[in-house]
Chains A and B, each alone.
Chain A
């Protein structure tokens, strides 16, 4: 079976230690987590983990089964890239002088559809949301001018299909 990118979505209670429990499932199988994001979800008091892995479908199926088995996990899903709408966000911190001296930088900002978050005497900060490839491209373009700091978030994603989690929770409460 061929390796591919999968996005695992985990709906869970918001409890201390659950991240450790979930990450341990990957550790036990020697599978690297490529990106991780934890946030609130569309349901009150339910957290959502978005985890990206590069592995085979057999393994992702196994992992999702083990994640879902954890007491405080309500439901877990996995999707391929085609089945999700996904994005990452990045911040670039760059010396202020360059903004005025290098005309090319202004073109990069316009062409990449990125935003200037702040400008101070010493530096300015660019924010860019989009696909990994778009962020990588912008990074490559800015690199020759000098990037003071760079950070990129984990993937966030929503599935194209409905995730029937709300119905599940309603059913439990009935």
Chain B
């Protein structure tokens, strides 16, 4: 099949053949090595769907049950594989349903190309059936967008779309194609995009700033690394590992950076941020040099900005110049791709161990273990905790699973306790906090890494936002494992109501349906665990299954996630209870 594809791509790129715009879109996708797209048909995109039908042996189209599901599936696919995810929808409501996924991909820097149909050129602006200004609507949530109104524009614009989505700091691109452009015939030839004159995807590293950074690091007594997703997107995992192993610098991660370095690595000290680990948060305000790598100082990471690492010199390794000094001022900014800059940095660094400094992290970890972790993962009370479920998944999957999480308490618990050995294994909606992300994203993650175990961990609230995607799992027998941690509440909001709104539980109690029956309605094997004695064996059964599997775990209804930096407090004011 590969050879057929190559041959076909070759004929279409080297000679010119008259084809329709709709067919051209297929050839563009194939030329960009796309073999899987997620979407939903409708009037204005029908010519393209007709070509999907004709090319179904080369290009798989997965019909999600809602366009939002298509975007999250494309995101899950992109995040796990490093490739560009593709979602497609019709005009009007089809297009507007993509907006949440676009915003999510924009804030979490996920490479995605969305294609929307549009009413014919002559009807633009006439309020035609299913006409909506998706270019206007999607502008703030896309890295780039463009409306194609004639077929001849298709090859160049599609090539540019893939180039922009993937290069530099990745992001979502939306291409809106009027129906007349899909029908028109033209001479097709395709050339991959190699550059756009107004766009510098990756700044060239400045050796002077790297030398200055090395000097600061070499002279530091309490250096501290915080890495983010930039390490994963830049595929700089090995370079980062080499830097921390040579220098002995304790390194923590933002939620988007998790899994870049194995959880078990002795220099990996855990998560920073609102529900991160105690040591990394408190010691952020005690380090003398803070080395931020591929992260953007999100408010959930920094807490109160005026009291964030004010004692430290800050070195910021970053691909996007607009992030420098945006939230935290950098004493030294090192622009460039993290793989390249860390590679240049490594030989300039002195070997070190920083043993005393490590002891402080160990002491803080012990406090957190005694106060929080022990009770989370080895509880002595009756009710099941979310933490023990995650721990059982770690054990059953031997820390090898891709963990896809939704948003809320379960997400924080999963990111705190899931263990990883391989990069690109933690897929979550970090920046936007999109409830409903996990189920469709898990579909994409599984299809992007068929050889890996994919476990979606979802709360009872978020699950019901995209629950219809069970239809995709059933129809295509996608062997994802779905774990719903059901506390019959919107748990995180309930936690805030308890702590900051005098327990006024406004609209956070959920009366839930029989989730097992719903899964069974889709012919997915399903179980519900309510007691500790059944937890281990059921999770083992789930992981051992080679089919889709749904597991509901009834957990304590009013558990809270700690540690916690209250909104607006300093990272060092993190609460353990």
Contact = CB atoms under 8 A, between A and B. Distances in A.
Interface in A58-87: 61-62, 65-66, 68-69, 71-74
B322 A68 contact: yes
B135 A12 contact: no
B143 interface: yes
A17 to B, nearest CB: 6
A13 B139 CA distance: 16
Given A65-B326, A71-B198, A20 B136 contact: yes
A57 B196 CA distance: 30
Given A16-B147, A173-B197, A68 B321 contact: yes
A69 B147 contact: no
Nearest to B149: A16
Contact of A28 (B140, B164, B195): B140
B198 A24 contact: no
B140 A17 contact: no
Contacts of A27: 140
A40 interface: no
B325 A74 contact: no
Interface residues of B, number: 22
Interface in B309-332: 320-326
A69 B140 CA distance: 12
Interface in A111-138: none
Contact of B144 (A24, A71, A172): A71
Nearest to A21: B139
Contacts of B144: 71-72
A87 to B, nearest CB: 28
A66 B136 CA distance: 18
B140 A71 contact: no
Contacts of A169: 197
B147 A24 contact: no
A73 B325 CA distance: 21
Nearest to B195: A172
A13 B197 CA distance: 9
A17 B322 contact: no
Contacts of A13: 198
A13 B135 CA distance: 17
A74 B199 CA distance: 7
A79 to B, nearest CB: 18
B145 interface: yes
Interface residues of A, number: 22
Nearest to B146: A17
Contacts of A21: 139-140
**Of listed A71, A73, A169, residue having the most chain B CB within 10 A:** A71
A21 B140 CA distance: 7
Contacts of B139: 17, 20-21, 24
A17 B197 contact: no
Contacts of A65: 321-324, 326
A169 to B, nearest CB: 7
Given A17-B145, A65-B326, A74 B140 contact: no
A24 B140 contact: yes
Interface in B134-161: 135-136, 139-140, 143-147
A17 B135 contact: yes
A129 B320 CA distance: 40
Contacts of B196: 71
Interface string A3-47: 000000000110011001100100110000000000000000000
A69 B320 contact: yes
Interface in A128-174: 169, 172-173
A69 B198 CA distance: 10
A71 B143 CA distance: 7
Interface in B157-212: 164, 195-199
Contact of B199 (A61, A66, A71, A173): A71
Contacts of B322: 62, 65-66, 68-69
B198 A12 contact: yes
B350 to A, nearest CB: 34
B306 to A, nearest CB: 13
B198 A74 contact: yes
8 contacts: A17-B146, A24-B139, A28-B140, A66-B322, A68-B321, A69-B320, A71-B144, A74-B198
**Interchain residue pairs A-B with the least CB separation, the first 9:** A65-B322, A74-B198, A71-B144, A24-B140, A69-B322, A71-B199, A172-B197, A21-B139, A72-B198
Interface of A: 12-13, 16-17, 20-21, 24, 27-28, 61-62, 65-66, 68-69, 71-74, 169, 172-173
Interface of B: 135-136, 139-140, 143-147, 164, 195-199, 320-326
Given A65-B326, A68-B322, A72-B199, 13 more contacts: A17-B136, A17-B139, A20-B139, A65-B322, A66-B322, A69-B321, A69-B322, A71-B143, A71-B198, A71-B199, A72-B144, A74-B197, A172-B195
